[in-house]
A and B are shown apart, each in its own frame.
Chain A
Amino acid sequence: MKLIVCLKQVPDTTDVKIDPQTNTLKREGVRSIINPFDLYALEEGIKLKEKYSGVVIAVTMGPPQAKYALEEALAIGVDQVFLLSDRAFAGSDTLATSYIISQAIKKIGKFNLIICGKQATDGDTAQVGPGIAAYLNLPQITFVRKIEEINEKFITAERLTEEGYDVIKSKLPCLITVVKEINTPRHPSLKGKIKAKRTKITAYDSKELNCDLIRTGLRGSPTSVDKIFTPPVRPAGEILPANSENIKKIAKIINKEIEIKKICP
């Protein structure tokens, strides 16, 4: 089985501190990590490989430092990595990124399954996975919480929904995005870390990927960001000890909330 996992390097949000005076994120010195949801994608890929044998290939697009994300992927257990890095890719939105990654996957050739995390924690768009599927003309199952069955031709997976889950069967090759319920990511082993350190990671540029430069970087990105702001801090909740008096008080508060919602839903 040939499995491709797409991953992204994001700022470690647990490392980001908030400046209490200005309420903005302090980004200096913030570390980069693999997008936490992509770790589930990686784990699922490696588990499938262990079960059915085959290879797992990790792909990332980003600046040269993104190689550290691939180094970690190697340490965790992928067999091969592709770093897509070029100045012409800078400023790519989700559309351009999907295009660039799909070009890389075309270069990789035949494969069975592409696995992505459900979304990245820095943009929360959840668009790149579906975008890649669209560019490669593949069926897709998003928000997968469990792979029920997979063979050479088909995959059956549970797709998480707000109410419960759908069971979806698709032919392969196909693309799935996964949610964190799907598995528990493993730690990189020391052997893996050593192997990763000793692997030279080279970057592929726009030429090697046969990219049409009109579709990459800022030029290829129709999305524009109007404004970035920190959402207002939510005031702390009130904790009332349980007694009959407070029950009435709470009921009143809830009723008022419902009233407000009725007026301005």
Chain B
Amino acid sequence: MLSYLLLYCLHRFNGERSLAAVYHLLTGKKSAQTLQDSKWFQLERVFGIYKTLSLGELEQAAMQLLQNQWIVSVDERSYVLTEAGKEALHEWLLSATFFTHLNGLLYDTVDRLFWYRLSLTVQTLSNLVHRHQFIPIHRHEATFAWVRTYLMAKNPHALAQALHDELHTICSSLSEEEATIFTLRLTSFERIGWTNEQIAACLQTDPLYVQLTFQHVLHYMMKRAEREPKQFPILHNVIKDLVKSVSLTLSAQKTYEWLIKGKTIAEIARIRHLKPNTIEDHVVEIAANVRDFSIAPFVAEEARRKIIEAATRLKTRQLKKIRDAVGEEISYFEIRLVLAKAGESSAS
């Protein structure tokens, strides 16, 4: 299962990134580079979906792919797919139903908070309705506080019924297997939620498959809860203050605030005691993440056109190749910026 996931990433990276980039992507490293990679190569959905992955496990999966002759090495720790590999990937993608709604980048860490709230609410209501004492399944102060406030002065029986109906509606629109996985992960008055491994054993499948399917269900649920407040009033309440519009690293966020105030890159570097290079990294990150951020002040239209043309013609996202094609008067910063923006618009 992991090897297929790796195969998928390697296919998108097309030999232009190493195994380390796959590792950073799947574990959700919040660096400008990884955030951009996920956009450029349209790998947003798998960003941060396997946070406990170790580099060793990934290397082992790569070894297996090499042995199967599904990939060949093109550079140190970079690989491309063979024909057999492409065929295997194609075959697997047909069964990878969890890709439908999975969006790791959009819901990174938010899905966890959403799940904490939802599952603790379910556990609390179920125990209230059945008059049981219980130990909260999560230890997360902010979640406790939220659930406490939310349940305050509400009739638990009515709320339990309403939440049941909302979850039932969601589950009914899922496959039998997806609904089962989701339900088994919940903790009630009589049953502590099952682990991925336990569910996998019960359904005779792979724990990673269970994990990804579960996340896909969560993301689907979050999307609907966000968009359909009338249909899902409780779920909408759970999510409404969690979704944020942009995800930037903290440092890039500060740079962004200065940019909005009209400062130039050089000025921001001086103010923040950082190297101009670092600020440029931030600008690229902002371009990749903030939809209405214009790169026009940093790149002339002529240069932008040239870069796009070269990238399309050469079918590459490698900076070096593009630079060779467009000539030295265009900087790496400009190329990165244009690619970041292009990735942003093709992804959305």
A pairs with B: no
Interface residues of chain B, those whose CB is within 8 Å of chain A, are none
